[in-house]
Structure 1
Amino acid sequence: MGRLGVRDYEQILDLAVAILENTDPEAIWSLITKHLCEVFDCTGVTFSGLYIAERVLRTEAWAPESHGPIALDLTDRYPNPDQHPLTLHVASGGTSPVILSRISERWRHSPWYDSARETGGGEQLGLPTPGDPLALRSLILGREQEFTDRDLALAARIQPLILTVDSQAREFRRLGAAAPLSVSTRHDLTPRELTVLGLLSEGLTSQGIAHRLLISPHTVNRHLEKVYRKLGTNNRVSTVLLAKQHGLVP
C-alpha cells in the first residue's frame, strides 16, 4: 500500500469540511464526486448502483459535469452485467477500494474497458459503497493514466467518511419522507440533527443511533444536546413528544 503525504491528508480534510458545511443532503453525492474528480485527477467520477434483478444501472451523480440521475437498461448493451469485475468484487463481499486492472487480467480486453475509453477513463478505480440491499453500489473513478498504490491508499482513507455520509443520507431520506425539511428549518435543525431526532423517536439508544449512522455515541450525544437546546427541552421523552407535535418526526 502506498504511503500518503501531507497534501493527501489535507485533501481528506478538505472533503470532510465540505461535507460538514453542506446543508442539502440531496446534493451530497454531486459534491463528493466533484471533489474526488479533482483529488485523483480523473476524467470522470460516477456514483452508481447496479440492480441485478432489474438489470438496470442507476447513476445518481457525475463529475466533472452533472448529467442528473440516469437509469440504463443493460439487457441489450451488456449481455452479462453481473460479470463486471467490480460487480463480482462487491457481490462476493468485497468492500475495499480496488484497481480494476489488478483484479481482472482481462480488464483491458473487455467491453467495459472499451466503453470507458470512449470518455477517456479506461483505467478505473472502484470504491464500493454498500448499504442498499437491492443494489451493488460503488463510486467509479476513471482516467487515462494507471492508478497507483498511493491512489489506493488515499481511497481507503476516504472510504470511511463516504460510508458514514451515505448512511446518514439514506436515513435522512427515509425519515424525511414523513417529516418535510421545511418544517424542521423553523426550529433551525440541521439535516444531521433531524436524522438523529428521527431515530430517537423510533426508540433507538445513543448506541443504536451511532451504529445506524456509523458514528460514535459521543457524537450522537453532541447532536442530541444541540437538539434539546434548539427545541427547549431537556430529556428524550419531552423532546420526542414536542417533535411529534410539531411534525418534525413521524
Structure 2
Amino acid sequence: MSGRDDGDWLEFTAELMREPLTELPLDRVTLMLRETFGGGAVAVNDFRADGTIDGRVLPVEASLEGHRADLDRWGPDNAHTHPIAQYYRATGDVRVMQVAEVPSTLVDLRAYGEGAALLRDCGVGQQLAFPIGPGPAPRTLVVGKPEVYGPGEMTLAHRVWRVLNGLDRQARAYAAALRNSSAAGRDVASAIRLTPRERAVLGLLAEGLTAGAIARRLDIAERTVHKHLERCYSKLGVADRLTAVLAAQRLGLVA
C-alpha cells in the first residue's frame, strides 16, 4: 500500500465537499484509489438493465503491460463472468470485496478462466471492488494489482467505501436539488450564498423529508441537518420549515 491513508482521504473528502458536485469526479476518485491501494488501473463498471456491463478502464493511457486492447475487446461481452459480479448477482450481498474472498462454491470459475489469465497478463490479477450507489447493481469501481490485498488494506478499503458512498449520495441529492430549481433560483442561491449542502437539504425538505430522513439520505448526522436548516432559515429570512419551503418555491430554489 502506498502512502495514502485515512488522513489523505479526509483531506480529499473535505476538498470535494467544498465543491457543488452533481456526480463523483471519477478521474480524481480513481486516481486516489490507485495511489492508495497500489493499483495499476481502475475499471469503472456500470450494470445495464439487461445484465450486461458497460465498462471502461482509467486512466485512459494505462497500457496494462501491453494488453490494453485485448482487455477492451474482452470486457464488454465477458465482464459478467468476473467472480465478484457473479457473487453480487447470486447473493445480492453488494459490498466491498476482493476476488480472493469470493466463495468458489457460489461462482463458476471455469467461465472466468480466460478473463483471469488476461488480467494476470495485464498485471492486475487481483481485483478489489467498490460498489458505489443505490440498488442491487450499482456502479462498481475495481482496483487491480498483482498481489492479494492484505488485512490492513481491506480495513482501509471498507472505510473508503463508506466515504465514497456518502459522497455519491450527497452528489445525487445536490443534482436533484439543481434539477428542481430554475435558472433564476440558481442566481438567487448564489446571491444569498446558499452552499451546495444547504441547497440539497432545502431541496429534500421541500420533498417532505424529516430531518432524520434527510440525514439518512445524505449520510450525515441529524444535528448537522438542523445546523444547515438554521442557516437556510437565516439566509431566507424565515423562522420555520413551512415558510422556508414556501420562500424557496417563490424564489425558484425548489420546485
Alignment of 1:162-177 (within 5 A): 162-177=164-179
Are 1:37 and 2:42 matched, yes or no?
Answer: no
Give, in angstroms, the shift of residue 108 of structure 1.
11
C-alpha deviations, 1:121-170, integer Å up to 9, x for none? 2321012224046x332121112333212111110112221111111222
Assess if the C-alpha contact under 8 Å between 1:52 and 1:82 holds in 2. no
Letter in 2 for 1:19: L
CA contact (8 A) 2:233 2:239 kept: yes
Structure 1 residue 113 displacement after superposition: 3.0
For residues 220-235 of structure 1, what are the structure 2 equivalents within 5 Å? 220-235=225-240
Q: Are 1:55 and 1:75, in contact at CA under 8 Å, matched by a contact in 2?
A: no
Greater Cα shift, 7-16 or 142-151: 7-16
Q: 1:154 aligned to 2:156?
A: yes
Question: Partner residue of 1:70?
Answer: none
CA distance in 2, matches of 1:65, 1:84: 23
Q: Distance in 2 between matches of 1:110 and 1:136?
A: 25
One-letter code of the match for 1:99?
A: Q
Change in 2 beyond 3 A, CA 1:31/1:222: farther
Does the CA-based 8 Å contact 1:243-1:249 persist in structure 2?
yes
User: Distance in 2 between the 1:193 and 1:123 partners?
Assistant: 41
Is 1:23 aligned to residue 20 of structure 2?
Answer: yes
Partner residue in 2 for 1:128: 131
Aligned length: 237
Question: What do residues 12-39 of structure 1 show as CA deviations (whole Å, max 9, x unaligned)?
Answer: 3233323323333345333322222211
One-letter amino acid of the counterpart of residue 151, structure 2? D
Give 2:181's aligned residue: 179
In our comparison, the structure showing a higher alpha carbon Rg is: 2
Return the match for 1:84 from 71, 82, 85: 82
Listed as ranges, the gaps of 5+ residues in structure 1 are 67-72
* Closer/same/farther in 2, CA of residues 52 and 84 from structure 1, 3 Å limit: farther
Q: 2:93, 2:199 → 1: CA distance?
A: 32
What TM-score results when the alignment is normalised by the length of structure 2? 0.77
- 1:195 aligns with 200
Aligned 8 A contact 2:128 2:143 in 1: yes
1:213 equivalent to 2:218? Answer yes
How far off its partner does 1:54 sit?
Answer: 5.8
- 1: CA distance between counterparts of 2:124 and 2:74? 23
Letter in 2 for 1:190: T
TM superposition score normalised by structure 1: 0.79
Residue 13 in structure 1 maps to residue 17 in structure 2: no
Q: Report the Cα offset of residue 203 of structure 1.
A: 1.1
Q: Percent identity?
A: 28
